[in-house]
């Protein structure tokens, strides 16, 4: 069995490793450290939770233990896709370099440029950065990359997902071609393969597990969820999540709950807090100080549930996460690997459960195709506990139960009784007044109107005959234009 003492590390680095309680390297560490110490490029492919960070941290510190950094010219560069992963890598360097006089700087968003500039101006041996913030400093003229001896790209497949590949290519072009490159990823997409072929020189390829596989220590399950009604889907899904958590009982000591959208992260976190669960959100729109406090609380055990977007899915090392709940089925199958990799780390056992709605079944099939095995459909205990609460329709109130009043178009007609009698004398007067008067011959249009059917009696609603012209046509209207002009 290989031990760290067999890997030819710097004695001071080795002492720090022993202080941390490690004696035996993981397979990726045992495979990557020797060629890295020999100055070769390394391409490391391994699932999450296998110790990739130490695979490049330990040889880098051993190589950098001799030499000194110059102002604004870092000696090494580590690129990470997220702030959280960059901060975690910085913690690893602090742990393993405590007996070395090496300096480091962390360039991430949410931190003052001025403070970062001060560190760079003093000269740093190790520069850990996210691509965007690194290029911001470079474009401001505060940073030179011509002195980089070792360049590390961590979680390269996540870089691809987040659209950082053009930035990575530009950063590669700014560093010397003589640099040593250590390239690590959990999966190897075709675009990642292209970059490695372009920027790595005869790399030592270390692949300790089949690409896109989950740890065998993780128990996986999926709950098929179908809402009772479309408008109740979100509420019922949150009810199901709480039932799944409760169904795990005391075995669920802590958990990360992943959502696809940032807005859902906030909604789920508020819902859990409302129902008495100790939960907090973390996603890219939160302030860096708040994200750091939340992560520190989760690592320390003072926070039980961390509701996260995929910003927390890659590279975060919280050793004792008992459960991972996928509130949403991830859109990209590779994200499923990284999400569930937050549990079952360092040989521990873990459990993950996922909620799958009918619209997510295609993504579920893609995940099963990627991991090359079906995910167990969870029924029985979990679903028995999940009593989905659908609010009954509200009963009609006394006010709404009263019959609706109908309105006529003519309020005057409504006010008049329909059977109001008309005096006989008025009927006679009406008949006398409305007797037709002889008139000139009407145009053909009016003849057609009267020939086919009897004239409609106007005013029938009121029961009487219309007073005035009625259907009578005044003679002057029947005159032609020439006749009126001659008269």
What is the tens place of the pLDDT at every residue in 107-140? 998 788 888 999 899 999 999 999 999 999 999 9
Closest CA to 315 of 296, 289, 341, 281: 341
Helices 131-139, 113-122: axis angle to 10 degrees equals 70
Is the distance from CB of 188 to CB of 43 less than 8 angstroms?
A: no
Alpha-carbon distances, residue 109 vs 112, 135, 160, 166, 261 (angstroms):
8, 12, 19, 19, 21
What is the reported pLDDT for 381?
45
* Angle, CA 46 vertex, CA 40 and CA 51 arms, to 5°: 85
Query: Is residue 451 classed exposed, middle or buried when 0-12, 13-18 and 19+ CB atoms within 10 A define those classes?
Result: exposed
Mark whether 185 and 264 lie in a shared domain.
Answer: no
User: How many domains in the chain?
Assistant: 3
What is the reported pLDDT for 6?
92
Residue 394 lies in a domain: no
Given 184, 207, 230, which residue is the final one in a domain?
207
Mark whether 372 and 442 lie in a shared domain.
Answer: no
Mark whether 113 and 34 lie in a shared domain.
Answer: yes
Residue 190 lies in a domain: yes
Domain carrying residue 368: 218-385
Residue 178 CB contacts under 8 Å (≥ 6 apart), including other chains? none
What is the reported pLDDT for 241?
95
What is the reported pLDDT for 341?
83
Query: What is the spatial order of strands in the sheet that 126-129 belongs to?
Result: 104-107, 126-129, 76-79, 150-153, 180-185, 42-45, 204-207
b/e string for 368-406 if b means 16 or more Cβ within 10 A?
Answer: eebbeeebeebeeebbebbebeeeeeeeeeeeeeeeeee
Mark whether 21 and 163 lie in a shared domain.
Answer: yes
> Strands (DSSP E) along 18-96, which ranges?
42-45, 76-79
Parts of the chain with a pLDDT under 70: 48-49, 209-213, 311-316, 346, 380-487
Mark whether 363 and 435 lie in a shared domain.
Answer: no
Is the distance from CB of 183 to CB of 44 less than 8 angstroms?
A: yes
Residue 399 lies in a domain: no
Mark whether 346 and 259 lie in a shared domain.
Answer: yes
Mark whether 200 and 224 lie in a shared domain.
Answer: no
Tell whether the torsion through CA atoms of 268, 274, 276 and 279 is positive or negative: positive
SS3 at position 54: helix
Residue 413 lies in a domain: no
Given 180, 207, 234, which residue is the final one in a domain?
207
pTM greater than 0.85 (yes/no): no
What is the reported pLDDT for 478?
61
Mark whether 110 and 30 lie in a shared domain.
Answer: yes
Is the distance from CB of 215 to CB of 351 less than 8 angstroms?
A: no
Residue 123 lies in a domain: yes
Residue 407 lies in a domain: no
Residues 432-450 pLDDT 10s: 444 444 444 544 444 444 4
Mark whether 92 and 38 lie in a shared domain.
Answer: yes
Mark whether 13 and 159 lie in a shared domain.
Answer: yes
Q: Read off the CATH number of the domain in which 369 is found.
A: 3.40.50.300
- CA-based Rg of the chain, rounded to a whole angstrom? 40
What is the reported pLDDT for 303?
94
Alpha-carbon distances, residue 117 vs 68, 80, 82, 482 (angstroms):
18, 19, 20, 98
What is the reported pLDDT for 215?
73
What is the reported pLDDT for 89?
92
Whole-number Å distance between alpha carbons of 350 and 343 = 5
Residue 270 lies in a domain: yes
What is the reported pLDDT for 483?
65
Mark whether 317 and 172 lie in a shared domain.
Answer: no
First-residue to last-residue Cα distance in the chain = 129
Given 175, 207, 239, which residue is the final one in a domain?
207
Mark whether 376 and 440 lie in a shared domain.
Answer: no
Question: What H or E segment, with its residue span, contains residue 363?
Answer: helix 361-371
Residue 240 lies in a domain: yes
The per-residue pLDDT of the chain, averaged, comes to 81
| DSSP, res 6 | G
User: Please, which residues bridge with residue 43 across strands?
Assistant: 183, 205
User: Please, which residues bridge with residue 353 across strands?
Assistant: 221, 325
């Amino acid at each position: 069995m290989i031990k760290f003492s067999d890997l030819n590390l710097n004695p001071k680095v080795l002492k720090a490793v022993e202080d941390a309680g490690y004696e035996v390297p993981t397979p990726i560490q045992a495979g990557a450290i020797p060629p890295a110490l020999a100055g070769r490029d390394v391409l490391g492919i391994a699932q999450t939770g296998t110790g990739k960070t130490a695979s490049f941290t330990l040889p880098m510190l051993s190589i950098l233990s001799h030499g000194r950094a110059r102002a604004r010219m870092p000696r090494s560069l580590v690129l990470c896709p997220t702030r959280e992963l960059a901060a975690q890598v910085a913690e690893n360097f602090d742990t393993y370099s405590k007996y070395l006089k090496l300096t480091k700087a962390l360039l991430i968003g949410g931190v003052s440029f001025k403070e970062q500039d001060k560190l760079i101006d003093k000269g740093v041996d190790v520069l850990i950065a996210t691509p965007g913030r690194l290029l911001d400093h470079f474009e401001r003229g505060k940073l030179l990359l011509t002195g980089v001896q070792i360049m590390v790209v961590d979680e390269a497949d996540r870089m691809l997902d987040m659209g950082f590949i053009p930035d990575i290519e530009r950063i590669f072009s700014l560093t010397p071609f003589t640099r040593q490159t250590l390239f690590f990823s959990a999966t190897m997409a075709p675009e990642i393969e292209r970059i490695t072929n372009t920027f790595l020189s005869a790399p030592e390829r270390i692949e300790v597990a089949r690409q896109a596989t989950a740890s065998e220590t993780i128990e996986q399950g999926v709950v098929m969820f179908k809402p009772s009604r479309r408008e109740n889907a979100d509420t019922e899904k949150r009810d199901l999540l709480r039932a799944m958590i409760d169904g795990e009982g005391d075995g669920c000591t802590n958990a990360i709950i992943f959502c696809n959208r940032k807005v859902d992260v906030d909604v789920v976190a508020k819902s859990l807090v409302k129902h008495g669960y100790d939960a907090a959100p973390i996603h890219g729109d939160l302030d860096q100080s708040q994200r750091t406090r939340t992560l520190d609380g989760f690592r320390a055990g003072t926070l039980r549930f961390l509701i996260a977007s995929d910003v927390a899915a890659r590279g975060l090392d919280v050793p004792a996460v008992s459960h991972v709940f996928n509130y949403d089925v991830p859109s990209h199958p590779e994200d499923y690997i990284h999400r569930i990799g937050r549990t079952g780390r360092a040989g521990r056992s873990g459990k993950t459960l996922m909620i799958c709605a009918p619209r997510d079944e295609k993504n579920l099939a893609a995940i099963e195709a990627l991991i090359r095995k079906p995910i167990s459909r969870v029924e029985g205990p979990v679903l028995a506990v999940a009593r989905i609460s659908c609010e009954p329709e509200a009963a009609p109130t006394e006010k709404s139960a009263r019959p609706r009043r109908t309105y006529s178009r003519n309020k005057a007609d409504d006010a008049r009784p329909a059977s109001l009698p008309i005096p006989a004398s008025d009927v006679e007067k009406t008949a006398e007044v409305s007797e037709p008067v002889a008139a000139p011959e009407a145009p053909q249009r009016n003849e057609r109107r009267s020939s086919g059917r009897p004239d409609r009696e106007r005013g029938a609603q009121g029961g009487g005959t219309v007073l005035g012209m009625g259907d009578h046509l005044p003679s002057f209207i029947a005159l032609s234009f020439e006749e009126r002009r001659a008269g």
